[in-house]
């Protein structure tokens, strides 16, 4: 039975763990290292850490933080935020990260994807694409979702695949933090046009949402934030992860 990876996507701001809604209004959640310890206990499939201010502030995700995660995490993890060079990628991988997530630099200097995949292997490189739906069309955004780019979404996805990205993370800005379900049309538009694995992000509110992203959207993995850090409609802070039995049960009914 195929069972997709289920990946908590953890956002960082000033070394704290935060959660956003539509890429805005970051709410402090707690200590990210404590979250790592909890996800270790839950035996999460993978983790992703993204510094949401890095590109906007012309910096890179903190290397000392990545080293701390590397010392604590028993599960594979990826990191992203302001990565601009193969030297930075080398340092982050050496610090313990299994993969790096490249977003703004994939737009501004797409050759970084090619160089990095040739040096470190495509399995280490995730190309992340942030998307808004405007006037019925999907627009690519860079710089933490603040800058609209003059790019065709499908052409860009095909380009990063050709350059050597091992995976594409497709993120709906419109649904970020809403827990209203994934944009299946958006996910399918990517999976129909590339052969590499696609990680769906933005909008997960339940395991059923994740199942739809896989079965209807064609995603190879699903990633989320709110569902893993909140409890109930009141959104009380509670780091959590679904039971493996529940995951197996829902994805066995296909």
Angle CA(155)–CA(160)–CA(120) in degrees, nearest 5? 175
The question of whether 246 is a catalytic residue gets the answer no
Distance CA 136, CA 208 (A): 26
Say whether 26 sits in a helix, a strand or coil.
strand
Distance CA 230, CA 29 (A): 9
Using an 8 Å Cβ cutoff, are 219 and 4 in contact? yes
* Token duo for residue 244: 């493996």
Q: Which of 45, 51, 62, 130 is catalytic?
A: 130
Distance CA 42, CA 192 (A): 33
Sign of dihedral through CA atoms 105, 222, 125, 91? positive
Residue positions annotated with a catalytic role: 130
């Amino acid at each position: 039975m195929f069972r997709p990876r289920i990946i908590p996507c953890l956002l960082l701001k000033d070394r704290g763990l935060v959660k956003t809604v539509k890429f805005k209004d970051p709410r402090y959640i707690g200590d990210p290292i404590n979250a790592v310890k909890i996800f270790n206990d839950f035996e999460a499939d993978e983790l992703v850490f993204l510094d949401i201010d890095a590109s906007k502030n012309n910096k890179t995700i903190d290397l000392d933080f990545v080293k701390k995660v590397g010392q604590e995490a028993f599960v594979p993890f990826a990191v992203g935020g302001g990565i601009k060079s193969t030297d930075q990628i080398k340092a982050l991988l050496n610090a313990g990260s299994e993969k790096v997530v490249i977003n703004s630099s994939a737009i501004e200097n797409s050759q970084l994807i090619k160089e990095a995949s040739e040096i470190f292997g495509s399995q280490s490189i995730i190309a992340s694409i942030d998307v808004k739906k405007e006037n019925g069309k999907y627009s690519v955004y860079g710089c933490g979702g603040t800058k609209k780019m003059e790019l065709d979404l499908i052409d860009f996805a095909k380009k990063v695949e050709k350059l050597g990205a091992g995976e594409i993370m497709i993120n709906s800005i419109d649904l970020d933090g809403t827990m209203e379900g994934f944009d299946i049309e958006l996910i399918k538009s990517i999976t129909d046009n590339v052969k590499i694995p696609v990680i769906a992000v933005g909008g997960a509110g339940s395991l059923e949402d994740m199942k739809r992203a896989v079965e209807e959207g064609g995603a190879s993995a699903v990633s989320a934030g709110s569902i893993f850090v909140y409890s109930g409609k009141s959104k009380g802070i509670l780091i959590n992860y679904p039971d493996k039995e529940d995951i197996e049960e829902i994805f066995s009914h296909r």
